[in-house]
Chain A
Amino acid sequence: MTLAGPRDSTIGIVGDGFGSALVYTTAVYLGFRPEQITVFGPNGSPVDTYQQFAYNLGQTILRSESESHFLPADWPTFAQLDAWARRSPAPLLRSVRRRYNPGVAEILAEATTVQRRLGWDANRLPVRIGWLQREQHPTPHFTLYDEEANYAGRARHVMLAIGHGPLAYPPALAKAREDPALADRIVQAYEPKAYDPAGRYVVIGAGIASVNEWANALDSGAKVISLLRSPTPDEQDLNTPRCFFEAYGIDAYQALSFDRRLAFLGQILKGTSPRRRGWEERVREGRAQGRFEQLMGEIDEVLPGPAGLRIHVSSRHGPDPGWLDVTGVVAGTGFQKSGLTLPLLRRLVQFYDLPVQEGRLLLRSNCGVPGLDLPTSRLCMMGIHANPVIPHGDTIAGLKYVARRFVADCARAERIRHRRFPSRLRMQLSLAGGSVEAMRRVRRAEQIA
């Protein structure tokens, strides 16, 4: 049962994904009562959006490591939960060597258990927030409205956990998708798709989504050309170097100017892919069978063709590959990073004249929205929009980092009584036990690192 109507809350969470679940869980863990927190969003589960993308991508394990999961505190780690669930030391041994990655099904089972036990859904108002208004009287707070401008409630502190923008396409493909004759042959890696065994496909990019698609297409028996815009990226287990997940790196990162932070993000977040045994083998086999090749270049024209599409590829790194006849094109080009692609943010930027640079909101060093954020009534952002503040803002570890600090700020502002150690331990063990039960019911994901 969700909330029947608007209410006043201490913490309002705009968004219903992973970030929302982590803010909610942390707040309850630190001592807020569930009825003090309201989640705003139409999805019935915080895993819905991610689950759909993971399914479309054919993803079975996360890139994250053992500490990145949905219990409020960092112990037990996910490998420990997995070992407990399967009564096997294998996850622990892998974790000790940093070769453990949580399975998608298992981590979603954990997230679902945690949100059910803590009442995330029972404190959710199923509306999409379209506008929020800063109010100063009688005390600083925000009034929230849905996309039809209906009143949705008030909250003293608000976390904007609205996720990333829409899927991104290179310009030539975006234009071609407007033609109904071509549109269904050009898809994003995160969209649903089916490969034809006799098909010939171009997969753009070399990040984790693209690498998954190479494997999916090769598995179906199809031929794949991997099209790279720049030389092959570095292989890296995580999408940010390890020490940038902790104080060492974050302190140093925040000491940089905004321009230098953006340049750094551009460097580290562009096309890193983890080394995976399964993918390597499949690609090696595909190459040996003449079904996989890599090209440097960019698609600059798309026409209908005998195979479905006729695309022109030009290259800055050598002779132009020219025209190719292909069955389809898969763009592993991720999501729009600009905050201006999200209607709520765009409205806030326009109305409150918020500072924006290269499409990114210039957040304060505490992820606060400048001009609207106050110590007594916080307005914060998390996820990809917080990357200029926290380099791994769009990972589970980054979401946790921001959620913990935001909730701690709220707790200080509200002077709440913190949950005591025995109560925290009891809650953590109870959630861990429930998660283990849930994990036993799902099929174990194969570790491929």
Chain B
Amino acid sequence: MCPTVLGRVQTRVAILVGPAILATILSLVTGDEGWIVTIGIYLLVGVALDTTFYPRVIRWQPPWLTFLLGVTEFVLVFVLVKVLQPGQPGFGDPDALVGPADVKVIVFFWVSWLLAIATRIVVLPIVSLSWLENGGEFRVTGWSIQPEAEPLPLVAAATPEAAGGRLVRELSAVHDRPVERRPPLSGAHARPVSGTSPDR
């Protein structure tokens, strides 16, 4: 797949809808906003990478990169969660590098990631036949350039009226009329071949 920047962002938003719903439910059930904010952080990190870093280093994205990118994004999201501490106490360990309270964050990230990847691999190609072909963009299944927008060459073309018009008949060699001979094009404005130009 060769995703466009717009395609990356659109796809990112679409595949995080499922995890966002899951996080909303968890936040409501546990009364801890940390779940949904974590998804928000994941979205922001993802969009930032999609618009600045990935397009510079990845043009054609082979499937094996998916897991590698997931690991990179996990590290970034995990560090931000540790720094920002978005949830109630117990949602992420604020002290240790990796503490027991971080299990929630780690498991939640990878469940969300699996949900997002399943959406991307299974759901999106079935919802939109042209999603993959359009570099991950959700375009209407259509052509790159509509025929109405095709550039047309500008040419001096004779219309049928002009071909049979008065001027053509006047200039026609069929009628053997005397014609005054005029100087050739190159002789109409004779230029000096040497000397200074008149304005100097």
Contact yes or no, B141 A365, CB < 8 A: no
Q: Per-residue CB proximity of A60-95 to B under 8 Å, as 1/0?
A: 000000010000111100000000000000000001
Residues of chain A within 8 A (CB-CB) of B144 are: 247, 250-251, 254, 365
The docked-state distance in angstroms from the alpha carbon of A29 to that of B127 is: 11
Residues of chain B within 8 A (CB-CB) of A404 are: 129-130, 133, 141
The docked-state distance in angstroms from the alpha carbon of A16 to that of B199 is: 76
Nearest B residue to A424, CB-CB? B126
Flag whether B135 is at the interface (Cβ < 8 A). yes
Flag whether A98 is at the interface (Cβ < 8 A). yes
Question: Within residues 68 to 126 of chain B, which ones have a CB less than 8 A from any CB in chain A?
Answer: 121-122, 125-126
B63 smallest CB distance to A (angstroms): 5
Residues of chain B within 8 A (CB-CB) of A245 are: 2, 133
The docked-state distance in angstroms from the alpha carbon of A249 to that of B7 is: 14
B140 smallest CB distance to A (angstroms): 7
Flag whether A229 is at the interface (Cβ < 8 A). no
Contact yes or no, A366 B127, CB < 8 A: no
- Do A74 and B142 form a contact, CB below 8 Å, given A96-B63, A243-B2? no
Residues of chain B within 8 A (CB-CB) of A351 are: none
Q: Per-residue CB proximity of A318-346 to B under 8 Å, as 1/0?
A: 00000000000000000000000000000
Give the contact-size bracket for chain A.
35 or more
Residues of chain A within 8 A (CB-CB) of B145 are: 251, 254-255, 365
Contact yes or no, B2 A249, CB < 8 A: yes
Contact yes or no, A408 B121, CB < 8 A: no
Residues of chain B within 8 A (CB-CB) of A408 are: 129-130, 140-142
- Do A421 and B141 form a contact, CB below 8 Å, given A97-B64, A243-B2? no
Contact yes or no, B146 A366, CB < 8 A: yes
Tell me which of A29, A243, A364, A421 contacts B150 (CB under 8 A). Answer: A364
Tell me which of A29, A74, A96, A428 contacts B132 (CB under 8 A). Answer: A74
Flag whether A26 is at the interface (Cβ < 8 A). yes
The docked-state distance in angstroms from the alpha carbon of A224 to that of B64 is: 40
The docked-state distance in angstroms from the alpha carbon of A364 to that of B151 is: 11
Residues of chain A within 8 A (CB-CB) of B4 are: 247-248
Tell me which of A30, A254, A373, A421 contacts B127 (CB under 8 A). Answer: A421
A118 smallest CB distance to B (angstroms): 16
B185 smallest CB distance to A (angstroms): 31
Nearest A residue to B135, CB-CB? A247
Contact yes or no, B147 A364, CB < 8 A: yes
Contact yes or no, B7 A247, CB < 8 A: yes
The docked-state distance in angstroms from the alpha carbon of A401 to that of B129 is: 9
Residues of chain A within 8 A (CB-CB) of B150 are: 364-365
Residues of chain A within 8 A (CB-CB) of B134 are: 246-247
Contact yes or no, A243 B60, CB < 8 A: yes
Contact yes or no, B130 A405, CB < 8 A: yes
- Do A75 and B125 form a contact, CB below 8 Å, given A255-B145, A366-B146? yes
The docked-state distance in angstroms from the alpha carbon of A365 to that of B149 is: 9
Give the contact-size bracket for chain B.
20 to 34
The docked-state distance in angstroms from the alpha carbon of A162 to that of B151 is: 28
Flag whether B1 is at the interface (Cβ < 8 A). yes
Residues of chain B within 8 A (CB-CB) of A243 are: 2, 59-60
Flag whether B62 is at the interface (Cβ < 8 A). yes
Flag whether A276 is at the interface (Cβ < 8 A). no
Residues of chain A within 8 A (CB-CB) of B60 are: 242-243
Nearest B residue to A92, CB-CB? B63
Tell me which of B2, B129, B140, B143 contacts A246 (CB under 8 A). Answer: B2
Residues of chain B within 8 A (CB-CB) of A250 are: 133, 144
Contact yes or no, A248 B129, CB < 8 A: no
Question: Within residues 214 to 258 of chain A, which ones have a CB less than 8 A from any CB in chain B?
Answer: 242-243, 245-251, 254-255, 257
The docked-state distance in angstroms from the alpha carbon of A404 to that of B139 is: 13
B107 smallest CB distance to A (angstroms): 25
Contact yes or no, B141 A246, CB < 8 A: no
Q: Per-residue CB proximity of A28-43 to B under 8 Å, as 1/0?
A: 0110000000000000
Flag whether B50 is at the interface (Cβ < 8 A). no
Nearest B residue to A98, CB-CB? B62
Cross-chain pairs A/B with CB under 8 angstroms, 29 sampled: A67-B132, A72-B129, A74-B125, A74-B132, A95-B63, A97-B62, A97-B64, A242-B60, A243-B2, A243-B59, A246-B1, A246-B132, A247-B7, A247-B134, A247-B144, A248-B2, A248-B4, A248-B59, A250-B144, A251-B144, A254-B145, A364-B150, A365-B144, A404-B130, A405-B142, A409-B142, A421-B126, A424-B127, A425-B126
Q: Which 9 A-B pairs have the closest CB atoms?
A: A408-B141, A74-B125, A247-B135, A243-B2, A75-B125, A364-B147, A365-B145, A366-B143, A248-B2
For the A-B complex with A365-B145, A428-B126 known, give 19 more contacts whose Cβ atoms are closer than 8 Å: A67-B132, A72-B129, A73-B126, A74-B132, A75-B121, A243-B60, A247-B133, A247-B139, A247-B144, A248-B135, A250-B144, A257-B151, A365-B143, A366-B142, A367-B143, A401-B130, A405-B141, A405-B143, A408-B140
